[in-house]
């Protein structure tokens, strides 16, 4: 059995999921993949290529992302995996990602979660939208978490012992469940990021950040209040930033999102886009 289990919730992602699973099959570090089919109209098993390392858990009905993630985590935590790595069903994992994260966590036992930078690409064209550069050092991540997620969820690798200590995703959140869990983890453990692009992230017009933006902002405010530290200036700043986002039109939301998340989002130059394209072909 591998040291790493991949958690991949999915709902009607049949056209993308083979791409995601294939990227994991090409990983330089062998891992087991747990796919949670959250009541897809066409079962994942009907579109997914068979593999001895891929385990599919099909839920009887669509119950939401937090419930799907927890269903997969419960199955994973019943076994002796050391780490859980996240990957969304429409994203792509670079071959060296898992190995580099395992190596990082082995060298930094005080860190419970490590993420990476990510390349955002447009769903239909595959064109690079931007590179998301999250804070790297644990202190910077903790500071940025006052505003929003400072770890790209689909890039995260989590120690299973940390999940056993703090619990799973809170199912009262359906648009910011990852932010709440990582805030909870950050109150007890260090979180860091590897300053290297190791995941490709599909951006869809139907994605939760655009489709349910107001719900996400409302949940974020509640989480910020639940974990509010009145003596920390960044806690006040983070809350104000989130409240101001309610005034920003959806059409401008993507342009200011990086500021509210503590991310540095840099568009690629034409030369860099060409180099990336050649490197991933």
For the stretch 77-89, pLDDT in tens is 999 999 999 999 9
Could you tell me which of 160, 141, 143 has the C-alpha nearest to residue 151?
141
Residue 31: per-residue pLDDT: 97
Domain that holds residue 141: 4-280
CATH number, domain with residue 120: 3.90.550.10
Q: Is the pLDDT of residue 265 over 80?
A: no
Token look-up 């891929």 returns 54
Q: Which two tokens stand for residue 7?
A: 């958690």
User: Mean pLDDT across the chain, nearest whole number?
Assistant: 87
Q: Is the pLDDT of residue 247 over 80?
A: yes
Could you tell me which of 174, 110, 165, 167 has the C-alpha nearest to residue 141?
110
Distance between CA atoms of residues 26 and 141, nearest Å: 30
Flag the least confident range among 116-130, 150-164, 264-278. Answer: 264-278
Angle CA 250–204–71, to nearest 5: 110
Q: What average pLDDT does this structure show over 23-39?
A: 97
Residue 206: per-residue pLDDT: 55
Counting residues of the chain whose pLDDT is more than 70, the rounded percentage is 86
User: Taking a C-beta distance cutoff of 8 angstroms, is the pair 173, 217 a contact?
Assistant: no
The number of domains in the chain is 1
* Predicted confidence (pLDDT) per residue in 195-204, tens digit: 999 999 998 7
Residues in contact with 186: Cβ distance below 8 Å, sequence separation at least 6, in sequence order: 141, 142, 145
Residue 210: per-residue pLDDT: 53
Residue 15: per-residue pLDDT: 76
Using H for helix, E for strand and C for coil, what is the string for the chain? Answer: CCCEEEEEEECCCHHHHHHHHHHHHCCCCCCEEEEEECCCCCCHHHCCCCCCCEEEEECCCCCCHHHHHHHHHHHHHCCCCCEEEECCCCCEECCCHHHHHHHHHHHCCCEEEEEEEEEEEECCCCCEEEEEECCCCHHHHHHHCCCCCCCCHHHCEEEHHHHHHHCCCCCCCCCCHHHHHHHHHHCCCEEEEEEEEEEEEEECCCCHHHHCHHHHHHHHHHHHHHCCCCCCHHHHHHHHHHHHHCCCCHHHHHHHHHHHHCCEEECCCHHHHHHHHHHHC
pLDDT band at 240 (very low <50, low <70, confident <90, very high): very high
Model-level pTM? 0.86
Residue 208: per-residue pLDDT: 47
């Amino acid at each position: 059995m591998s040291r790493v289990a991949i958690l991949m919730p999915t709902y009607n992602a049949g056209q993308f999921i083979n791409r995601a699973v294939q990227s994991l099959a090409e990983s330089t570090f062998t891992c087991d993949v747990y796919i949670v089919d959250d009541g897809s109209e066409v079962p994942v098993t009907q579109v997914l290529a068979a593999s001895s390392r891929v385990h599919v858990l099909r839920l009887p009905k669509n119950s939401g992302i937090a419930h799907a993630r927890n269903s997969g985590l419960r199955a994973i935590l019943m076994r002796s995996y050391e780490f859980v790595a996240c990957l969304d069903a429409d994203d792509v994992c670079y071959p060296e990602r898992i190995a580099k994260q395992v190596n990082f966590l082995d060298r930094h036992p005080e860190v419970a979660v490590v993420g990476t930078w990510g390349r955002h690409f447009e769903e239909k064209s595959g064109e690079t939208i931007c590179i998301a550069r999250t804070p790297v050092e644990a202190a910077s991540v903790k500071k940025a978490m006052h505003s929003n997620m400072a770890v790209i969820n689909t890039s995260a690798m989590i120690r299973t012992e940390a999940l056993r200590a703090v619990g799973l995703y809170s199912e009262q959140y359906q648009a910011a469940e990852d932010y709440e869990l990582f805030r909870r983890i950050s109150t007890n453990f260090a979180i860091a990021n590897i300053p290297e692009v190791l995941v490709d992230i599909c951006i869809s017009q139907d994605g939760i950040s655009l489709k349910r933006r107001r719900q996400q902002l409302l949940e974020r405010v509640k989480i910020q209040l639940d974990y509010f530290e009145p003596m920390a200036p960044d806690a006040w700043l983070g809350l104000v930033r989130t409240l101001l986002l309610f005034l920003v039109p959806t059409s401008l939301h993507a342009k200011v999102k990086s500021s509210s998340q503590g991310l540095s989002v840099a568009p690629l130059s034409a030369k860099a886009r060409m180099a990336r394209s050649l490197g991933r072909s």
